[in-house]
Amino acid sequence: MLVIRFLRVGKKNQPSFKIVVTDKRNPPRGGRFVEQVGFYNPLTKEKILKAERIKYWLSVGAEPSDTVHNLLIKEKIIEGAKIPLHKTKKEKEPKPEELPKEAPKEEKPKEEKPVKGEKPKEEPPSVKTAAKTSTDKEVTKREEKKEEKPKEAKEKKTEEKSEEKPKIEEKKSEPSSAKATKGKEEPGAKTS
Q: Where are the beta strands (DSSP E) in the chain?
A: 2-11, 14-23, 35-41, 46-49, 63-64
Predicted pLDDT at 95: 62
Q: Count of CB atoms within 10 A of residue 140's CB?
A: 10
Pinpoint the alpha helices (H) of 18-86.
51-60, 66-74
- pLDDT classification of 86: cutoffs 50, 70, 90: confident
Mean pLDDT score of the chain: 74
pTM across the whole model:
0.46
User: Which residues are within 8 A (CB) of 71 and not within 5 positions of it... i.e. 6 or more apart?
Assistant: 19, 40, 47
* C-alpha distances in Å from residue 156, one per residue of 76, 139, 143, 159, 160: 83, 26, 21, 5, 6
pLDDT of 100-134, one tens digit each?
555 555 666 666 565 666 555 555 555 545 445 55
Predicted pLDDT at 100: 57
Amino acid type, 192: S
In the chain, what percentage of residues exceed pLDDT 70? 47
3 state DSSP class of 56: helix
Say if residue 51's pLDDT is above 70: yes
In the chain, where the domains are located: 2-74
Say if residue 147's pLDDT is above 90: no
Amino acid type, 181: T
Q: What is the average pLDDT across 32-61? A: 95
Beta-bridge mates of residue 64: 4
> For 188, which DSSP code?
T
Quote the CA–CA distance of 86 and 65 in Å, as a whole number: 14
Q: Write the class of the CATH domain 2-74.
A: alpha beta
Q: Which residues of 113-129 are buried (b: 16+ CB within 10 A; e: fewer)?
A: eeeeeeeeeeeeeeeee
Say if residue 136's pLDDT is above 80: no
